[in-house]
Amino acid sequence: MKFGLIFLLIIVLLGACSEQQTPKSYDWQLRTRFPVPQVPENNPMTAEKVELGRHLFYDTRLSFNEKQSCASCHQQQHAFAEPLLTSVGTTGEVHRRNSLALVNVAYNKTLTWAHDQLTTIERQVLIPMFGEQPIELGITGHETSILAKLVADERYQQLFNEAYPNKKVSFELISHALASFVRSLTSFNSRFDAYAYDMQDEALTDSELRGMALFFSEKLECHHCHGGFNFTQSTSHEKQPLDRRPFHNTGLYNVMEEFSYPSKDLGLYEVSLNPRDVGRFRAPALRNIEKTAPYMHDGSISTLEQVVDFYSAGGRHIKQGKFIGDGRENPLKSQFVKGFELNPEEKQDLLNFMKSLTDDSFLTNKKHSNPWDSRK
């Protein structure tokens, strides 16, 4: 007995003398029942990395000409999307695609509009940072000078030290910190969430409830592509690692070219080279959708009302101009886009429901806001 006690004491003392510290686990501040997003093993979440990433996200020095930061095309009041049809890079080059809202991106199985192999934010951020076609932040060729600027900044010295103690500042650390910040952008406090997950029956109006019933109905079939807790089937979390490939052709175009979508953007086909993937794009998550107009991969639908009209018609019939064609007849169109009839009241109910997905706390959360004061 006495021997056992001494043994125990030695163990406890050894533990107390240990140099190792268990890292504090990151506080996601999610609802207790919500699963935590999958995080790559080589970039675990810490509050310090998120804070460093936030500074980088809003820092125009990350672009070679200091004219743009990530926040230029991902603006908090627009749920980290922007009100342009397609984005414009730091040299004025126009992107072919619409800026995606950064809402619950942590749960996306794949990133960007149409890529089935881009599965981590760490890998995706390299595109706007280093991409040359088009140039977005334009870091390529200017790596040394940009790093030098950041390293010279006392604030960054402190932030890097806290996030990555004893590590040399590099673009790997920068991209990892940016990924951690984007991963921290979670939004689950809309009135819809209060109804669905807090069981608050009063959180939605009658019109919104009717709209919700329409959204989840087989008549409209929205939930086939925009279903699940994140309103997109492109979702993965720690309890559901099973993989999916939710890219859909919604009948936006049916042009008379080599392919039925305009050659400037063939969607997933460009990555997979599978002809069935022409015009297939990922269904984005719908929280805060009211704030992220214009819509679709090329921003070609301006308002939510027009989005509902588009799905109601079962596709888009373009009657004149460069992209003339009847998207409703696109042979690759998803079998879930069949069109449906809505009377004006039902249409308004549906729109009201979609607007109930807005999470004001996310749009104004200081933790996601610009940390630099105007002095910089």
Partner 1 sequence: MIVVLVGCQPKSSSIVLPIQLQLSDAPFNCQSEYIQNEEVWQLSQFQFYLSNPSVVINGETYPLSFVERPWQQKNIALLGEVCGYSSQWLLEFEPIGIALTDATLNFTLGVPFELNHLDPMTQESPLNQSDMFWTWQLGHKFLRLDLQSSQAGWSFHLGSIGCSAPSPLRAPSIPCLQPNTVSVSINNISSNDNLVLDIAPLLSTVTLGKDNQCMSFAKDKSCQLLLPAVGVNSQTSIFRVAL
Geometric angle at alpha carbon 247, from 244 and 253, rounded to 5°: 170
Q: Which of residues 177-196 bind partner 1 (CB under 8 A)?
A: 195-196
Under rule CB under 8 A, residue 239 binds partner 1: yes
Number of residues near partner 1 (by CB under 8 A):
34
Rg (CA), the chain: 23
- Helix 47-57 vs helix 171-183: angle between axes, to the nearest 10 degrees? 100
Tokens at residue 22, please? 């268990």
Q: Shortest distance, CB of residue 286 to partner 1, whole angstroms?
A: 14
Q: Which of 242, 258, 319, 321 binds partner 1 (CB under 8 A)?
A: 242
Interface stretch with partner 1, choices 51-59, 86-94, 210-218, 279-287 (CB under 8 A): 210-218
Q: Which of 228, 328, 347, 371 binds partner 1 (CB under 8 A)?
A: 228
Q: Which of 8, 29, 270, 276 binds partner 1 (CB under 8 A)?
A: 276
Interface stretch with partner 1, choices 212-220, 277-285, 315-323, 341-349 (CB under 8 A): 212-220
> Which residues make beta-bridge pairs with 217?
none
Under rule CB under 8 A, residue 201 binds partner 1: yes
Q: Which of residues 9-48 bind partner 1 (CB under 8 A)?
A: 33-35
Q: Shortest distance, CB of residue 209 to partner 1, whole angstroms?
A: 6
Please state the φ and ψ torsions of residue 336, each to the nearest 5 degrees.
-90, -5
Under rule CB under 8 A, residue 223 binds partner 1: yes
| Cβ atoms within 10 Å, residue 115 | 19
Q: Which of 229, 262, 317, 342 binds partner 1 (CB under 8 A)?
A: 229
Under rule CB under 8 A, residue 243 binds partner 1: yes
Q: Shortest distance, CB of residue 78 to partner 1, whole angstroms?
A: 27
Under rule CB under 8 A, residue 335 binds partner 1: yes
Positions touching partner 1 (CB under 8 A) are 33-35, 195-197, 201, 209, 212-213, 215-218, 223, 227-229, 233, 235, 237, 239-240, 242-246, 275-276, 331, 334-335, 338
